[in-house]
Chain A
C-alpha cells in the first residue's frame, strides 16, 4: 500500500510539474512582443532587486503596513517547503537525523499556525472574504491539512498513508487552483524586475545628479 502511494506521489509530482509547464507554455502562446524602446537601465539588476531588496518591508510599503501577515506568509511558505522536503525524504526513502527532523517539525508547526491564521483572516476580514473564491479557501485547507499530517507523521507514522494520499491530492491540485502561484510567483517577479530594471526605475540609479 505504502509503496503504491509512494509511486503515486512521484507520478503526481511529475503530473504537477508537466501541467505547470503546460500552463507556462500556454502563457507563451499569447506571444512575446519585441521591445523597441531604448532601455534606460539594466534588466538583470531589476530582477535581482525583485527577488532581493524589493521584497523587504523597508522597501515595500505593503509589507511594512502588514508586517504580521508578511511574516506569516514567509513562515507559511517555509513550512510548506519543509513539508515537501519531508515528503521527498519519505519517497526516496531516507532516514534523516533527529536534528533535521526537529528543524522540519518547527518549520511545519510554524507553517500550520500561520496557515490557519491566514485562513481565519480570509474568513473574518470582509474585503478579503469578498475578493476570495472557493479555490482560495480550498487551497489553504488542503495545504494546512498536508502540513498537519506531515507534522503528525514525524511523531507517529500511522498517518502515513493518509499523508501520502493528501500529498498526491495537493500535487494534483496545484496546477488547477491558486497554488499554481508557487510557480508563477517566480515568473511574475522576473517580469516585474525586467520592467522596472529596463526603465531604470528600480533599483534606483546611481545618483548621477547628486548635489
Chain B
C-alpha cells in the first residue's frame, strides 16, 4: 500500500461514514428550509431543458451533470420521495429517490461544485422556478451534517470565530486604517482628512470585504477619498466591519444570521442610521435582502450599497468627477448577487459614465450577464478550482470582445476570479472596483467639501 492510498481524504471519509441518523437529520433540515414557495417550485419543473444554455457550467462542459434542470432534479427527487404521495408510491414512475450516500455525493458534486448560485437559470426558466434558492436548500441540508466543502466551511468558521472572514486581528485592522489615513491626508493635501473609526453618531457605518484590508487597501482609500470629498459623516467600526457572509453560500442560515448580527451590533454601538455595504455582490444580497429573513426581524436602519451613495453624490452634485482622468476603455462586469439578485443595476453605470471617458458594455449585460465563475463560494472551494477556471472562459471571452483595457466590477469575489482569469487567459487588462475608478476621477473641491461637512456636523 503506498502513502497516497493510506491517507484518505477526510472529507471523502466523512461522506462514506455517514450514518442513517445523519441522513435523517439532513432530511429534517431540508424540510425545515422548504417553505410554500419552494414547495410550489419543487412541484413545477417539466424537464423541458430550456435552461441548459443559461448556465455557464453547461455551456462549458455540455454534459448532463451541468444542466440546471439536472441539478434541480437532484433536489426534486428527494422532495418527491419524502413529501409527495406519488413519489412515495410510484417512485420510479415520477423519478423520486431517497436521500442516500450516492445522492449525497451527487449533491456535493453538483450543488456545491457545479453551481455558483448566480440565478441566470431562474431568469430563463419557462416556469419561473427560483433554481438557486432550491439549490441552496440542498446545500443547507448538507451543511446540517457537516458536509460543506472544507475551504468554504473554514471561511465561515473564521468569520464566526474572529468576526471577519480573513481572521484579521483588531490591532492589524487599526494599524491599516491609521496608515491609510496618513496616505489620504497626503493624497488630498489636508491634514484634517480622516478615516473615522468608531465615531459614535456618525451617519453611516461603512463595511468592507476583509480582503481589502489584506490585499486591496486602494479600495478602502478610494471609498475614504469619496466620503471626504462629499463631506460625509461616516465611520468604520473597529470590531465588526466585514460585509461578507459565506453563510449565504454554505447554506447555513444560523451561521449567516450570526454574521449579519455582528454588523447590527456595530450599527447599534455606533448609533449610525445607514449601513453602507462595500462593493461586494454576495455581501449586498446577504445583508440587504437575506439577513432580515435569517434573523426573522426588520432592521431599524437603512441598508445601502456604496454604489447607491456615490451615484447620489454625483446626481446631486456633491462630488465632481473628471472623466478625462480615466482615458482607457473601461468595461463593467455585473456581479450576479448585486445585479440579478440584488437589484443594483444602473448606479454603477451612472458612476462609470461620469468617471471614464470610454465606457463600453459587455454583451450580454445587466441581469442577463454571465457569472464570472467565482460566486457561490467557488473561490473558497479548492476542490473545484479547475472547473472554476474553465467556466470562467465565457467571461474571459466576453471581456476580450469589448476591447477594454480596464474591467470594473463592484465585487471583491469577482475581482479575485477576474484576476485569475486575466492571468489564465492572458487578457492583459486591469481589474478595478467602481469606487477606485471614481476616486481616480475625483476633483477635490475643498470649499464644497467643507460646506457639506459643516452642514452635516451642524
Known: A37-B289, A136-B47, A209-B311. A199 touches B341 (CB 8 A): yes
* B40 cross-chain contacts in A, Cβ below 8 A: 24, 27, 184, 187-188, 191
* Chain A: interface size category: 35 or more
Asked if B135 is at the interface of the complex by the 8 Å CB criterion, the answer is no
- List CB contacts (< 8 Å) of B25-50 with chain A: 34-41, 43-44, 46-50
B92 touches A134 (CB 8 A): yes
Known: A185-B44, A202-B367, A211-B353. A62 touches B92 (CB 8 A): no
A188 touches B129 (CB 8 A): yes
Stretch at the interface among B51-59, B109-117, B213-221, B231-239: B51-59
A30 touches B367 (CB 8 A): no
* A189 cross-chain contacts in B, Cβ below 8 A: 127-128
Known: A36-B298, A199-B289. A62 touches B126 (CB 8 A): yes
Stretch at the interface among A5-13, A91-99, A122-130, A162-170: A122-130
The 8 Å CB contact of B124, one of A30, A40, A61, A200, is A61
* A208 cross-chain contacts in B, Cβ below 8 A: 346
- List CB contacts (< 8 Å) of A170-211 with chain B: 176-178, 180-181, 184-185, 187-189, 191-193, 195, 199-202, 204-205, 207-211
B127 touches A188 (CB 8 A): yes
* A35 cross-chain contacts in B, Cβ below 8 A: 292-293
Asked if A65 is at the interface of the complex by the 8 Å CB criterion, the answer is yes
A127 touches B315 (CB 8 A): no
Asked if B449 is at the interface of the complex by the 8 Å CB criterion, the answer is no
Known: A30-B39, A69-B50. A62 touches B124 (CB 8 A): yes
The 8 Å CB contact of B343, one of A40, A66, A211, is A40
Q: Tell me, rounded to whole Å, the shortest Cβ–Cβ distance linking B276 to chain A.
A: 15
Q: Which of A130, A185, A209, A211 has the most CB of B within 10 A?
A: A209
* B347 cross-chain contacts in A, Cβ below 8 A: 209
Which 9 residue pairs across A and B have the least CB separation, nearest first?
A: A192-B128, A133-B95, A209-B350, A36-B292, A62-B124, A27-B39, A200-B343, A62-B50, A184-B44
List residues of chain A with CB under 8 Å of any chain B CB: 23-24, 26-38, 40-41, 50, 54, 60-63, 65-66, 69-70, 73, 125-128, 130-136, 138, 176-178, 180-181, 184-185, 187-189, 191-193, 195, 199-202, 204-205, 207-211
